[in-house]
């Protein structure tokens, strides 16, 4: 069945299509509709038309979100299959992402929209949250369903209507989500269109769009901010990370190795908040590297649709090329590849878990966001030095401290310049806590009351008896 867009409550085909590649095979396996400008305008106008009625009935919105959650949960397996095929994450993880997406709509259906009230002289002052209007939701390819829901769920709860545009590398699961949800929502409330960066830019600059929720790279985020600036649109930017994990000399390497490994290599390292630089106290470098190597060599790399696969391919050709060029540079300056380091000789975009030592700041693998299955590991002499190196970057998404001394770990976590700092964990997200970055890693927060705030304007109503 061809994938179709959802506009104004109905399925819409594109005049043209573009190929979607399965990264496990390297071959195209489906076409997605290429949304043209008139169709984009139809989607935004449908959302604008639906806004008036949708914003007025909060209880109908909660009921509809609950129904969407149940329908998504019912289809989690099918959604997961599509996602695993187009993006390459292991099928078990892809189904889990679809289930989390259902949970996010359930959670939104029950979330409080804050209202505050107090008396001021003769007047009663009420502070309420009003929806923005039409919201553009732009998720990246690594978690299209989950990060799409981080935007769509709070935006719909608070009375906005939405146009969702997923990444052209992984559009099919979001188109499928649109088909599921349009059965349970009034026409125009959620529209899902597909296309590339140019379509994203036209959507962001469309005069009827009042709010933008974007997750992606820093460079695109800056472009989105420029596009949104002309009309001063409300904006949430969740951008790239270059998270440092700092391992102190009191850890038991056997105990922490698996958590550190998967903190770096879950989703084949393609997570904004994965460990991307590992700083290890000199005295534990050898035993920790030994444990990490053991895990890396035992991991089952394979086709995303194979239920025994733990480690899928890189999500697309462009990202594979980026990773290989970073590896080339590291090799040129004398890096030591402890494991992996080469593309596998098989179809698909496979690079196995790659541990790299004998590297330092000054090369892209350390200074930029690699967003792939390659981890630079560096030793440090003093904790102060490690914190300084962790913070010496324009990124500020997350970080972590690994130690048996929780009090010291918590104190040091507070020294990291980032939105979330963990102790003895990494990339464990509390869905009720705000998520977002400092410095170039973003603007605003998603999740919990902060996520709701992002899709609303504050209104103060002063009412006096006479």
Active site residues: 238, 272
Between 200 and 409, name the residue whose CB sits nearer to ligand NAD.
Answer: 200
Q: Binding residues for ligand NAD, how many (CB under 6 A)?
A: 32
The region of 87-95, 164-172, 300-308, 372-380 touching ligand NAD under the rule CB under 6 A is 164-172
Establish if 88 lies at the interface with ligand NAD (CB under 6 A): no
Between 138 and 251, name the residue whose CB sits nearer to ligand NAD.
Answer: 138
Nearest distance, CB of residue 179 and ligand NAD, angstroms = 19
Binding mask 441-460 for ligand NAD (x = CB under 6 A): -x------------------
For residue 375, how many other CB atoms are within 10 A of its CB?
Answer: 29
Nearest distance, CB of residue 256 and ligand NAD, angstroms = 24
| Of the residues 239, 284, 285, 299, which one makes contact with ligand NAD according to CB under 6 A | 239
Of 14, 19, 39, the C-alpha closest to 86 is 19
Nearest distance, CB of residue 46 and ligand NAD, angstroms = 20
Binding mask 201-220 for ligand NAD (x = CB under 6 A): x--x----------xxx--x
Between 99 and 215, name the residue whose CB sits nearer to ligand NAD.
Answer: 215
| Of the residues 124, 223, 293, 357, which one makes contact with ligand NAD according to CB under 6 A | 223
Angle at 285 between CA 282 and CA 289, to 5 degrees: 170
Sheet (strand 442-443) strand order: 10-12, 5-7, 190-192, 161-164, 134-138, 209-215, 234-238, 442-443
Nearest distance, CB of residue 227 and ligand NAD, angstroms = 6
Question: Maximum Cα–Cα distance for the chain, whole Å?
Answer: 80
The region of 51-59, 82-90, 133-141, 154-162 touching ligand NAD under the rule CB under 6 A is 133-141
| Of the residues 14, 178, 437, 451, which one makes contact with ligand NAD according to CB under 6 A | 437
Binding mask 278-317 for ligand NAD (x = CB under 6 A): ----------------------------------------
| Of the residues 3, 82, 158, 167, which one makes contact with ligand NAD according to CB under 6 A | 167
The region of 73-81, 142-150, 291-299, 402-410 touching ligand NAD under the rule CB under 6 A is 142-150
Q: Which residues lie near ligand NAD (CB under 6 A)? A: 138, 140-143, 147, 165-168, 196-197, 200-201, 204, 215-217, 220, 223-224, 227, 238-241, 272, 369, 371, 397, 437, 442
């Amino acid at each position: 069945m061809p994938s179709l867009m959802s506009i104004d409550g109905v399925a819409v085909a594109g005049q043209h299509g573009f190929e979607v590649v399965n990264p496990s095979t390297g071959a195209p396996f489906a076409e997605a509709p290429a949304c043209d400008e008139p169709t984009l305008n139809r989607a935004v106008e449908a959302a604008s038309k639906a806004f008036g009625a949708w914003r007025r009935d909060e209880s109908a919105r909660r009921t509809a979100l609950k129904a969407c959650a149940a329908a998504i949960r019912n289809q989690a397996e099918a959604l997961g299959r599509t996602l695993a095929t187009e993006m390459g994450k292991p099928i078990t993880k892809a189904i889990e992402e679809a289930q989390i997406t259902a949970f996010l709509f359930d959670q939104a259906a029950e979330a409080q929209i804050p209202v505050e009230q107090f008396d001021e002289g003769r007047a009663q002052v009420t502070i309420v949250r009003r929806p923005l209007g039409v919201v553009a939701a732009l998720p990246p390819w690594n978690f299209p369903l989950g990060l799409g829901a981080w935007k769509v769920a709070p935006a719909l709860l608070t009375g906005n209507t939405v146009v969702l545009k997923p990444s052209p590398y992984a559009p099919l699961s979001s188109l499928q989500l649109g088909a599921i949800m349009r059965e349970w929502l009034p026409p125009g409330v959620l529209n899902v269109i597909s296309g590339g960066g140019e379509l994203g830019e036209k959507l962001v600059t469309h005069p009827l769009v009042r709010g933008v929720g974007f997750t992606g790279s820093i460079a695109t985020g800056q472009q989105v901010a420029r596009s949104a600036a002309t009309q001063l649109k409300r904006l949430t930017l969740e951008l790239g990370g270059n998270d440092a994990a700092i391992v102190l000399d009191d850890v038991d390497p056997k105990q922490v190795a698996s958590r550190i490994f998967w903190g770096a290599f879950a989703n084949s390292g393609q997570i904004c908040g994965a460990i991307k630089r590992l700083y290890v106290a000199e005295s534990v470098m050898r035993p920790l590297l030994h444990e990490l190597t053991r895990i890396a060599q035992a991991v089952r790399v394979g086709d995303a649709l194979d239920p025994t696969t733990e480690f899928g391919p890189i999500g697309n050709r462009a990202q594979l090329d980026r990773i290989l060029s970073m590896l080339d540079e590291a090799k040129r300056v004398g890096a030591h590849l402890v494991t992996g380091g080469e593309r596998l000789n098989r179809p698909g975009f496979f690079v196995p878990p790659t541990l790299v030592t004998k590297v330092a700041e000054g090369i892209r693998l350390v200074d930029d966001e690699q967003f792939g299955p390659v981890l630079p590991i560096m030793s440090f002499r003093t904790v102060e030095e490690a914190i300084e190196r962790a913070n010496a970057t324009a990124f500020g998404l997350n970080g972590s401290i690994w130690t048996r001394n929780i009090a010291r770990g918590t104190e040091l976590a507070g020294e990291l310049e980032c939105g979330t700092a963990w102790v003895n964990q990494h990339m464990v997200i509390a869905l009720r806590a705000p998520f977002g970055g400092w410095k170039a890693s973003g603007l605003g927060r998603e999740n919990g009351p902060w996520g709701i705030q992002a899709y609303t304007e504050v209104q103060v109503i002063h009412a006096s008896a006479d």
